[in-house]
Structure 1
Amino acid sequence: MDQSFSSFFDSQPRSSSRSSWTYESLKNFREISPVVQTHLKQVYLSLCCALIASAVGAYFHIIWNIGGLLTTLATLGCMFWLLATSPHEEQKRVSLLMASSFLQGASIGPLIELALDFDSSILVSAFVGTGIAFACFSGAAMLAKRREYLYLGGLLSSGVSMLFWLHFASSIFGGSVGLFKIELYLGLLVFVGYIVYDTQEIIEKAHLGDLDYVKHALMLFTDFIAVFVRILIIMLKNSAQKEEERKKKRRN
């Protein structure tokens, strides 16, 4: 960890002297070999399919109200089953990825249904905002020097631990608005960081011969959904507060 931090700070003077990005620099993937580039295409294609499957799952919840605790547990079961399955069973693992994505979509279906009932434009804005943030941070990780952001692993793990204990404390001692906001925004910051970290970890593992695109797509899918849910909740809360303020002004 100390070496990671020292290498990071040692690299700062060099990074500050870099010129601004140009169109040519945006196409600079010289540190990513053709094999790794092909692997990344498979990863992001699988990620897109997983997001479509999750959208179908959310739609099924809206029609038949299937989302809940059971789908959440089934999601975790499919994920663990996927990770425990041999990489040679590619078709089975892809099916498990799609199944876990479908169930994850159904699990967040109640939140999506709430957003649709309140204002459907919020759902679209949250998804577009998440997509833009994901593309920017993942692209930044690809364009950065190899291993430049891998030092974030320890910090992000600490952030997840803090989220766990905050949630544990709120469930025992009772939650407050302030604690909920801290948990919400800290979680958003942590999972945005995981987008950068996981992207570079996927690239580094692919350079070392780990071309398991299904597992890597699952990692990025988990990050995307975590960021999307938090952005959607933040936008819903802000819109609800504005609506309450408008009602108070009308009464006055």
Structure 2
Amino acid sequence: MLRLGLSSLRPLGPAVGRTARSNIRSFSNFRPNVLQTLQKQRQALSLSQLKFPRYSTDVPIIEATRPISWRRVALIVGGVAATVVVLEGALNRETREGLSAAERSLLNSSFAYTGAGLAITAAAARAMFTSGAVYRIMAANPWVVLGVSLAGGIGSMLGVFYTPPENTVQKHFFWLTFNAFQAATLSPLFFLNPAILARAGLYTLGVVGGLSYVGATAANDKYLMLGGPLLAGVSVVALSTLAPLVLPVTAVRALAVTEAIYLYGGLAVFGGFVLYDTQKILAHARLAEQGRMKRDPINEAIGLQLDMINIFIRLVQILSMNNNRK
């Protein structure tokens, strides 16, 4: 870092002060000459000699639309497909024969509610952004906004979990309320470049699609043992978000480490949660088929939706950081 010493800003003794004062006093002696010079220059200078930038009013200044780079699209699709193949080969060496009717039904219903919830969240977040509600939210007390969003999200999520599936109206009401609070939390993301959001969304679909396919075709209960380590990992990631409130600003290296834990460690943890939640859905489907628990796809969808949102947010932050470095 470049440091500027205070000694370079101090006057160099009484002599400088006396010189400055004498210059101020003697300014009146040069004033007539200065006025005469300015008057002569103004007479000699004409507007025709000045050069101003010319702006054409015939053609509007509109940025031309860039053509679609099919090469980049092909590379992204190929990268997503390669990711699925690598994850399948590395994590799914022991596969199962196939899904039963109950497992397939609950898995399809859970992912249908997950997709619907994400669509509702994205549409509501866009509506909040265009209506100006985001500006009012950001202008308010950030701690109050954070507290209300956190309390509302957790409260509505608990309402979904503790409402029996037979009470359809109340359960869907809490589910829509949960999506509304998630939309309020994610709406400031629309201030970012839409290209970054689109790329992050595509990468999220690729990662979650590959991991959920691995979890669905893996042997029974293979990844359910990850529950304890994933809970510990979430605790570490959550504590890393509080590091800027505890560590001093001068601890640059420590803050960089905690940021890496939050971003890349969070990606790994929530990617593991996709595996865990997918296999948990299959286990719950077998229990429901045996009559030991109730079939509830909305409860299963909440976990998958939170996994996808957390992965998406971290990918947006990583892509934004890489874009700013260019």
Q: 5+ residue gaps in structure 2?
A: 1-87, 89-94, 138-144, 250-254
Of 77, 85, 96, 2:155 maps to 77
Shift of 1:165: 2.8
Q: Is the 8 A contact 2:96 2:220 kept in 1?
A: no
Q: 5+ residue gaps in structure 1?
A: 1-20, 22-27, 243-252
RMSD: 2.2
Q: Output the CA distance in 1 between the equivalents of 2:151 and 2:315.
A: 23
Q: How does 1:36-185 map to 2 (within 5 A)?
A: 36-63=103-130, 64-66=132-134, 68-69=145-146, 70-110=148-188, 112-115=189-192, 119-174=193-248, 176-185=255-264
Shift of 1:228: 0.6
Q: Normalised by the size of structure 1, how large is the TM-score?
A: 0.78
Q: Is the 8 A contact 1:134 1:224 kept in 2?
A: yes
State the identity %: 25
Which one has a larger percent helix, Structure 1 or Structure 2?
1
> What residue identity is the alignment partner of 1:179?
T
Q: Output the CA distance in 1 between the equivalents of 2:98 and 2:168.
A: 28
Q: Output the CA distance in 2 between the equivalents of 1:171 and 1:157.
A: 23
Match of 2:215, SS? helix
Shift of 1:29: 6.9
Match of 1:219, SS? helix
Pairs aligned (count): 214
Shift of 1:84: 2.1
Q: Is the 8 A contact 1:55 1:102 kept in 2?
A: no
Q: Is the 8 A contact 2:238 2:262 kept in 1?
A: no
Q: Output the CA distance in 1 between the equivalents of 2:227 and 2:244.
A: 26
Question: Which residue pairs with 2:19 in the alignment?
Answer: none
> What residue identity is the alignment partner of 1:205?
H
Q: Is the 8 A contact 1:72 1:104 kept in 2?
A: no
Shift of 1:147: 0.7
Q: Output the CA distance in 2 between the equivalents of 1:31 and 1:150.
A: 18
Q: Normalised by the size of structure 2, how large is the TM-score?
A: 0.61
Q: Output the CA distance in 2 between the equivalents of 1:203 and 1:84.
A: 21
> What residue identity is the alignment partner of 2:100?
S
Q: Is the 8 A contact 2:221 2:283 kept in 1?
A: yes
> What residue identity is the alignment partner of 2:187?
G
